[in-house]
């Protein structure tokens, strides 16, 4: 399966998010912009990489670059899809699950963002639903939400059953 098809299977809306795709290396690069439209980081995804190799550009599954001390999130382009809540997740594919359904969602690209994320999220002037992975690390994201949901055991939002995703939509989404 080619990289585009793989990303579509992971619920990524390629028109909205427009990652850079390196078909030769089989790597997708997701750009992270701030609210002023400045590039502040990126995450590379290698579907054939090893998830246990942390933050390695070519061998790991994920490599993240952040322009510190700037708040770095992925998905700001989705903020105009809806005017209701903003879903906050740990990973790109977790947020993509919601943006593919027309919702606004941001990925923190980690499970324990710096404290200044809370102030940055308040600038959005919208309720934030933190959708946490069901483990100790994933639940650290809860402190950044006005509302908190924990994905059913053993799953993250990107891999959650459709009925759970629609439960979230029915519970929180107004548009």
Task: Determine the pLDDT at residue 174.
Answer: 67
* CATH class of the domain whose range is 76-172: alpha beta
Task: Determine the pLDDT at residue 116.
Answer: 81
| Tokens standing for residue 55 | 């933050």
Query: Which pTM was predicted?
Result: 0.92
Reduced to 3 states (helix: H, G, I; strand: E, B; else coil), residue 163 is helix
Q: Delimit the domains of the chain by residue range.
A: 3-66, 76-172
Per-residue tens of pLDDT for the chain, all 175 residues: 799 999 999 999 999 999 999 999 999 999 998 888 889 999 999 999 998 888 888 889 999 998 877 888 999 999 998 889 999 999 999 999 999 999 999 999 887 787 788 888 999 999 999 999 988 878 889 999 999 999 987 778 998 999 999 999 999 976 4
- 78 CA to centre of own chain: 11
81/169 Cα distance (integer angstroms) = 14
- The answer to whether residues 145 and 128 touch, using CB atoms and an 8 Å cutoff, is yes
Task: Determine the pLDDT at residue 175.
Answer: 47
β-pairing, 86-89 vs 104-107, is parallel
CB atoms within 10 A of CB 38: 10
């Amino acid at each position: 399966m080619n990289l585009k098809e793989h990303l579509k299977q992971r619920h990524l809306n390629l028109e909205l998010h427009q990652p850079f795709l390196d078909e030769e290396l089989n790597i997708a690069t997701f750009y992270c912009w701030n609210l002023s439209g400045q590039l502040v980081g990126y995450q590379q995804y290698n579907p054939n990489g090893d998830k246990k190799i942390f933050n390695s550009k070519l061998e790991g599954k994920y490599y993240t670059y952040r322009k510190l001390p700037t708040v770095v999130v992925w998905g700001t382009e989705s903020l105009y899809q809806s005017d209701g809540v903003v879903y906050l997740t740990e990973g790109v594919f977790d947020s993509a699950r919601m943006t593919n359904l027309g919702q606004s969602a941001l990925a923190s690209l980690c499970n324990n963002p710096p404290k200044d994320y809370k102030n940055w999220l308040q600038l959005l002037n919208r309720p934030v639903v933190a959708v946490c992975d069901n483990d100790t690390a994933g639940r650290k994201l809860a402190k950044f939400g006005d509302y908190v949901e924990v994905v059913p055991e053993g799953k993250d939002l990107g891999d959650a059953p459709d009925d759970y995703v629609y439960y979230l939509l029915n519970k929180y989404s107004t548009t």
